[in-house]
Amino acid sequence: MKAPVIGRITADLLLVLALLAPNSSWADVSEIENHQVALFERLAPSVVFLATRKGIGSGFFVDNRGLVLTNAHVVADATGIDAVLHDGRRLTGRVVERSKDVDLALVQLPVESSRAVGVGDPNQLRVGSWVASVGHGQGGIWTFTTGMVSNIYPAGAEQPVFQTQIPLNPGNSGGPIVDRHGKVVGIVTAGVANANNVNFGIKIDIAFGHLEKLEHLCDCLVVKAPEQVPIFVDDEMVGVGPRLLLKLRPGRHEVFAVIDGRMDRKSVIYPSETAVELGK
């Protein structure tokens, strides 16, 4: 008779296993706990509660002047958005940009200053990478959840997302997904109904590439090419035209595309050079 399959390992069991491991101690667990507490306390003031007549969602500050990144489906067709900040202030924001291609939008709030979430590098994510999110799932405001990256879809895929098993619910949409350093690497966008923790995030560099008002905030290489033409960097496909913003390691990179049957290849030294146009 086969042994029963354990569907879910509880947090308590994981804790016990961690303590039974060689060289483990309560001090190790305390260090992990302290890191997570500090990360939440640093991240929470940057996360915003958003509401329209059609529902609620999450968003987060991307600059120090009140600009909030969220999902397009959170703001829907509204122009005015009700917002609540972590300190309790209630404000009305206005939608200043929507992406035509991906589920992203920007809301401007009338504040003198705001705490932006630092931007990480989603290209450093691997299956198994630790990630976390703060949002308002099922109306539970400023809820902190953790998990890992379950899958990463290749560049050029129809849906430019990565999969995570962070526990997320309606209301978390538009919230930040951060790495272990507390840097945002993605935006919560959707989950699979009737499935356990099958959720998706849009990579943060996709947001920079699809929302013009974010371009100045990204320390990126801007690559332009004709519509839907595959773009390659160092022999790896990184996306399609007309415009990509890429976070790259410093140094020389080969950027190319095949346009009308001919290869257009250009060498750039990043970050000394921050823009390249192919097909012109």
Active site residue ranges:
73, 103, 173
Query: Of 272, 267, 215, which is closest to residue 246 (Cα–Cα)?
Result: 215
| CB proximity list for 258: less than 8 A, separation 6 or greater | 229, 230, 264
| Range list of H helices, 21-143 | 26-43, 72-75
Calculate the alpha carbon distances from 4 to 1, 7, 121, 267 in Å.
9, 9, 40, 57
DSSP state of 79: S
In the three-class reduction of DSSP (H, G, I as helix; E, B as strand; rest coil), residue 217 is classed as helix
> Within 10 Å of residue 166's Cβ, how many Cβ atoms?
24
First CA to last CA across the chain, in angstroms? 68
DSSP state of 45: G
